[in-house]
């Protein structure tokens, strides 16, 4: 089952409101995130630790607290892909991409900047979404366990601090 290509449909709702100033886009929820029904749910994913650290605020480990944290800090969160074929959580295996309607967030918020988490999210955003949104993305390294060998928690925190410049 691990090496099998699956057709995956994105079933998580975007997190945003009219006050959101930045949008963070991943590629597509991992198998663990789909299992738990929320973004960056793999216990070894550093996404929530990084955001907690750069904003200097604790985040309880439950969906409601994470949603409140994002909205209170004017952060929108979603993914580029609405459906694709993928092997496990391997972004490099992604094929047959359909993208989410990112304009849904742009048109109903104050988002002026987009951050992409990981190379695949950045590549797909620039190929499929940028021509429509005309908002360039700022690439951030993936916080996934697969990227742990490339970036320590401290290095990720340093890279993600750029977000603060856009939340003022």
The domain spanning residue 92 has which CATH number? 3.40.470.10
2 pLDDT tier (thresholds 50, 70, 90): low
Tell me how many degrees the CA angle 143-147-149 measures, rounded to the nearest 5: 125
Q: How far apart are CA 93 and CA 89, in angstroms?
A: 9
Whether the Cβ atoms of residue 102 and residue 25 lie closer than 8 Å to each other? yes
Q: What percent of the chain has pLDDT over 70?
A: 98
For residue 22, the surrounding DSSP H or E stretch is strand 22-26
For the purposes of burial, counting CB atoms within 10 Å of the CB of 56, is it exposed (0-12), middle (13-18) or buried (19 or more)?
Answer: exposed
- Indicate the number of domains in the chain: 1
State the catalytic residues: 45
> Could you list the residue range(s) of the whole structural domain that residue 88 is in?
5-166
For position 1, what pLDDT does the model report? 46
Q: What is the pLDDT of residues 50-66, one digit of tens each?
A: 999 999 999 999 999 99
């Amino acid at each position: 089952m691990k090496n099998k290509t699956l057709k995956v449909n994105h079933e998580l709702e975007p997190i945003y409101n009219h006050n959101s100033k930045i949008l963070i886009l991943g590629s597509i929820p991992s198998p663990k995130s789909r299992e738990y029904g929320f973004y960056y749910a793999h216990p070894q994913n550093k996404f929530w630790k990084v955001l907690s650290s750069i904003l200097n605020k604790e985040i309880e480990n439950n969906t409601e607290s994470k949603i409140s944290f994002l909205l209170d800090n004017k952060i929108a969160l979603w993914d580029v892909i609405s459906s694709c074929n993928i092997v496990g959580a391997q972004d490099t295996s992604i094929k047959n991409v359909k993208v989410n309607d990112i304009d849904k967030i742009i048109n109903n918020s104050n988002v002026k900047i987009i951050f992409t988490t990981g190379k695949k999210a950045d590549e797909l955003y620039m190929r499929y979404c940028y021509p429509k949104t005309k908002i360039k993305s700022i690439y951030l390294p993936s916080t996934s366990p697969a990227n742990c060998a490339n970036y320590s928690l401290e290095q990720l925190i340093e890279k993600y601090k750029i977000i603060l410049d856009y939340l003022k």
